Amino acid sequence: GLKIVTIGGGSSYTPELIEGYIKRQDLLPISEIVLVDIEAGKHKLDIVGAMARRMVKAAGLDWKVTLTLDRKSALKDADFVTTQFRVGLLDARVKDERIPLSHGVLGQETNGAGGMFKAFRTIPVILGIIEDMKTQCPDAWLVNFTNPAGMVTEAAIKHGGWKKTVGLCNVPIGHRKMAAEKLDIPEKDLFFKFAGINHFHWHRVWDKQGLERTHEVIDAIYKPTDEDQESHLKNIHNASFHYEQIRALEMLPCGYHRYYYAEDEMLKHSIEEFEKGETRAQVVKKTESRLFELYKDPELDYKPEELSQRGGTHYSDAACEIIAAIQNDLRTEMVVSTENNGTVTDLPYDCAVEVSGVVTSHGFEPYNWGTFTPEARGVIQSMKGMEETVIRAAIDGDYNRALSAFIVNPLVPGGVVAKDILDQMLYAHKDHLPQF
Ligand code: NAD
Ligand code: G6P
Ligand code: MN
């Protein structure tokens, strides 16, 4: 049977993953699920692991659920390795958000200074996992969810050399659902094409008759009305995009584009949260404690509704879906972070892009996108250059490159403040940055 290993098994999202496997039990001949964590997350692993066992039992399945802190042994003969770890846990995310904001600069877990620091902490760990996989499970697929998912996936493929890597995110799933709702057409009758990089992608949509419906979705969501524009994500404030700009783009932006296209309003809102002591990580810490209180209940054997308070809801579903699709050669259409290889002609061949395509038993086959219009091409090239610089800095512990990435990142103002934030964050996170 299949052996699926999850690194960061103590995550509060684990019940979603288990639910996803249970739903797909006919497609997934699982024999063992291994949840791996570290000492700092052991209490979480124990609680959520017991919950996972109850869920499997309640479903009448005989899957073995193993909990361990020994990553290397856990990886032995794995078929799929999924990653959902957070180096430094939520306390590190609090710093990623609050330090930049204390300088009046956007602080966010996957964007700006916070996103770059999450990459600095995470990339050495993903490369360490790959080192273990080389000896323990050389044929396994690596399904990465760990943020910043685009940079982590690029590091795994390009620098770790692990070609059998797929990177996933729940944002495209939400956008598909929202477009289907706005057009009042079932999602399965629409054709979507996404392209860009993780948390910085755009998409277009067509109907069964072959008509492009992108403009209608743009109008339905972004045309000014008395109501707020919707952000389907729990973690992103509903700042408004300029309707005129989105019309000119002729593509739908993703939720995270708000940090760039509506930077002033997002910053204002973030500073308000900062002043109240309620940045996203601080709010999520409370949600997380409530979730773990629920998970402790020995009677609870299903995913509680409360988990939908997390921004990543549906994300584990994507992980289970891609595993089922690879395992059974389902050719399922998905949006995946993958090696570019010319899919987006504006970006290097060896970088990661997040694009639509089909999942086969030999991996992800992206649909060709070609080139972007100038207003998207310029920013995506600059964002990718920033990401490549961050990845190099993360691997080499290179201060000069880290500063260079800070200066290039559009959410960090250049000059003195960039260096001040960098230095303060390097110090605050030093326990998780041995390479610097
Ligand atoms: P979390 O804070 O609960 O962390 C998950 C677990 O990782 C913790 O139990 C922690 O102890 C463990 N961990 C930390 N360092 C580790 C290491 N070196 N090896 C193994 N385990 C380690 O995090 P969460 O909120 O559940 O999110 C988990 C990760 O998934 C984050 O990186 C988050 O950004 C990401 N995420 C991504 C998406 C997506 O769309 N791609 C959606 C949701 C979450
Ligand atoms: C979205 C993103 C994820 C991110 C999550 C944060 O779903 O796609 O990449 O991890 O939001 O949610 P949280 O509840 O942790 O703020
Ligand atoms: Mn994501």
Per residue in 351-376, pLDDT (tens digit) is 999 999 999 999 999 999 999 999 99
Atom 4 of ligand 2, nearest CA residue: 312
Residue 152 Cβ contacting ligand 1 at under 6 Å: no
Helix residue ranges per DSSP H, 203-344: 214-222, 243-249, 258-261, 263-276, 280-295, 315-328
Distance CA 289, CA 278 (A): 15
Task: Please spell the DSSP secondary structure of 150-184, one letter per residue.
Answer: HHHHHIIIIIS---SEEE--SHHHHHHHHHHHHHT
Give the model's pLDDT for residue 322: 97
The pTM (predicted TM-score) of the whole model is 0.97
The 10s digit of each residue's pLDDT in 283-321 is: 999 999 999 999 999 999 988 888 888 888 777 889 999
SS3 334: strand
Share of the chain above pLDDT 70, in %: 98
pLDDT tens string 179-190: 999 999 999 999
What does the pLDDT read at residue 228?
A: 65
> What residues pair up with 204 in beta bridges, in sequence order?
193
Q: What angle do CA 272, 277, 280 make, to 5 degrees?
A: 80
Q: Beta 165-167 vs 352-360: how paired, if at all?
A: unpaired
Rounded distance, CA 405 to CA 389, Å? Answer: 6
Window from 32-46, 202-216, 231-245, 310-324 with minimum mean pLDDT: 231-245
Instruction: Kindly report which listed range (152-161, 213-222, 228-237) carries the lowest average pLDDT score.
Output: 228-237
Residue 226 has pLDDT above 70, yes or no: no
Rounded mean pLDDT of the chain? 96
- Which amino acid would we find at residue 355? V
Q: Would the CB of 236 count as within 6 Å of ligand 2?
A: no
| Helix spans in 75-111 (H) | 89-102
- C-beta of 280 in contact with ligand 2 (< 6 A): yes
Q: What is the pLDDT of residue 237?
A: 84
Using the mean position of ligand 3's atoms as its centre, give its distance from the Cα of residue 83 in Å: 13
The interface predicted TM-score (ipTM) is 0.98
Question: Nearest Cα to 311, choosing from 436, 125, 115, 169?
Answer: 169
CA atoms within 13 A on the CB side of 309: 16
333: CA distance to ligand 2 center in Å? 22
Ligand nearest to the CA of 118: 1
**310 alpha carbon – ligand 2 mean position (Å):** 7
**Given this model, what pLDDT does residue 307 score?**
87
pLDDT at res. 232:
63
